[in-house]
Amino acid sequence: MPSLADIFPLPPTARRIGEVLRRAGRPANATEALALSTLSVRSGLFFAESLPLFFIAAPFSDASSEAKGRSDRAPDEAEAKSSFGRARAKRGRPPQKALEVTLSRLFELLKRDAALIGQGDAPLSVLTPQDPLGHGIRLLRILADGTAVGKRRRTHSAREFTKDARRWLDELPAYYRRNFHYQTDGYLSAHSAALYEHQVELLFRGGADPMRRMIIPPLRAHLQRAGASDDGAGLHFLELGSGTGSATRSVARCFPKAKITCVDLSSPYTRHARQQLDEFPRVNCIQGDAAELDFADERFDAVYSVFLFHELPLPVREAVLAETMRVLRPGGFFGLVDSLQIGDDDELDWALEFFPREFHEPYYANYAANPMSGLLSQAGFENLEAGPGYLAKWVSATAPPEPESEDSVDTATQPKFSRPCSQG
């Protein structure tokens, strides 16, 4: 007798998600189940909210513009030699199974994030919505701004600023003076700061915050190996490129007694972050350049960044890592969450070509072709580990331990690292 599935076959996307559900198994406890339900509903909400943007953006898409089939620039040598560079030259569209693969990766991420909460490595409060009363108003403002964003995308206009934003330009490095993502004012106005996190969640269908929280497990594992307090007591963290403070909020809730200093180039975003994080008295947000940090040597126990490095030119990436090494204490933790790079997930390599073309990420192609693990090794970091999650990856490493002198009395207090580097 035929089954119901034989009579009414599921579409490929539903089958793929069903496979993920079966592999994932049941939630381990009620907290994990509640977290997964909340994350799933949240993701569905952002997916539904993103649908009108497809219709707004369609007339302005790269495929429908005169720019179709052309590149804004020639690929660099590293990119040209890669499969990504060859695909970029062809201007290919997402493959046939792109949707089902992407959605299955998203659900895998949500399941992992729920498990993080269920096992107590992150409190349920990390799922508390930020300003729920303003949610609808922000969405309407984003939709209203969609046409302007679309026009910039069609004409490749990336240096269009309002008067409010232009006042910051002279004090910023040249690479930063642009409309990243073609968004109004780039990162240089209160208007942009107010909409940014909502825009990112629409882009990633509710997966942005769970991707940001991928920094928590490697940081917690490092602290456990080093014998530090689980709540961060007595520790000082530095977040680079903190933006409006979304990643900071999760880290502050997971390590409530840690002191966290946040640095971001954008004055408007830094001001917005202070407002969003005022409930956390141990968090301090300052405007500054991650490539030229105004801190003493060996000041921080941990340094981390979330979605920073793909927006930096290669020389700036190298400078940021050099500064990170300088301000980290011996044996200290460095971690990052950022976009996937070529080969991290073969089924999602197409997205590494699509994203910078549609959202103006001028340094993304070079980032995708230059693995962060290699840059970290060149900068002198040790104990590299990495893993993927949806459209992002986490990478962790440590600064070299302090050299032992002949009269060293107790090696047991030195941090111990046991797991080898496992590239995702």
Instruction: Please choose, from the candidates 416, 419, 364, the residue with its C-alpha nearest in 3D space to the C-alpha of residue 386.
Output: 419
Beta-ladder partners of 261: 238, 284
Distance from C-alpha of 343 to C-alpha of 346, rounded to nearest angstrom: 5
Contacts of 243 (CB under 8 A, 6+ apart): 187, 196, 264, 266, 269, 273, 307
Instruction: Please choose, from the candidates 183, 24, 38, the residue with its C-alpha nearest in 3D space to the C-alpha of residue 105.
Output: 24
Phi then psi dihedrals of residue 72, to 5 deg: -65, -25
Contacts of 281 (CB under 8 A, 6+ apart): none
Residue-level pLDDT at 342: 96
Contact 242, 163 (CB under 8 A): no
CA dist list (Å): 123 to 34, 215, 227, 229, 419 = 12, 15, 21, 16, 26
Distance from C-alpha of 33 to C-alpha of 38, rounded to nearest angstrom: 9
CA dist list (Å): 264 to 72, 164, 172, 176 = 28, 18, 11, 12
CATH superfamily for domain 45-403: Vaccinia Virus protein VP39 (3.40.50.150)
Instruction: Give the start-end residues of each E strand in 82-178.
Output: none
pTM of the predicted protein model: 0.85
Residue-level pLDDT at 69: 42
Helix (H, G, I), strand (E, B) or coil at 206: coil
Dihedral over Cα of 377, 380, 384, 389: its sign: negative
Helix (H, G, I), strand (E, B) or coil at 334: strand
In the sheet with 382-389, reading across from the earlier edge strand, the strands are 283-287, 259-264, 236-240, 300-306, 328-339, 392-398, 382-389
Alpha helices in 119-177 (DSSP H): 135-155, 163-166
Domain ranges, ordered by start, for the chain: 45-403
Residues of the chain with pLDDT under 70: 1-25, 60-93, 405-424
Residue-level pLDDT at 27: 86
Contact 196, 183 (CB under 8 A): yes
Residue-level pLDDT at 13: 52
Distance from C-alpha of 239 to C-alpha of 251, rounded to nearest angstrom: 10
Residue-level pLDDT at 355: 84
pLDDT digits (tens, 9 = 90+) for 160-184: 999 999 999 999 999 999 999 899 9
pLDDT digits (tens, 9 = 90+) for 89-130: 444 467 778 889 999 999 999 999 999 999 999 999 999 998
Helix (H, G, I), strand (E, B) or coil at 350: helix
